[in-house]
């Protein structure tokens, strides 16, 4: 599965698992959701 690892490593942005939008990865974040979806899920 090294191809998958290389694929993600080359991506400059992460993809939200909720809406599929690409978003900037926060330095101290392990989120798999963009800020918008994260807010919806935790309000």
Tell me which residues touch Zn ion (CB under 5 A).
Answer: 16, 18-19, 21, 34, 37
- Cβ proximity to Zn ion: between 14 and 37 the closer is 37
The Cα-based distances of 19 to 6, 16, 26 in angstroms read 23, 6, 18
- Work out how close the CB of 31 gets to Zn ion at its nearest, in angstroms, rounded to a whole number: 10
- Cβ proximity to Zn ion: between 14 and 16 the closer is 16
- Cβ proximity to Zn ion: between 8 and 36 the closer is 36
Contacts of 3 (CB under 8 A, 6+ apart): none
């Amino acid at each position: 599965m090294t191809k998958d690892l290389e694929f993600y490593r080359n991506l400059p942005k992460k993809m939200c698992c909720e809406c599929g939008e690409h978003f900037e990865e926060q330095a101290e974040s392990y989120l798999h959701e963009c800020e918008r979806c994260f807010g919806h899920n935790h309000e």
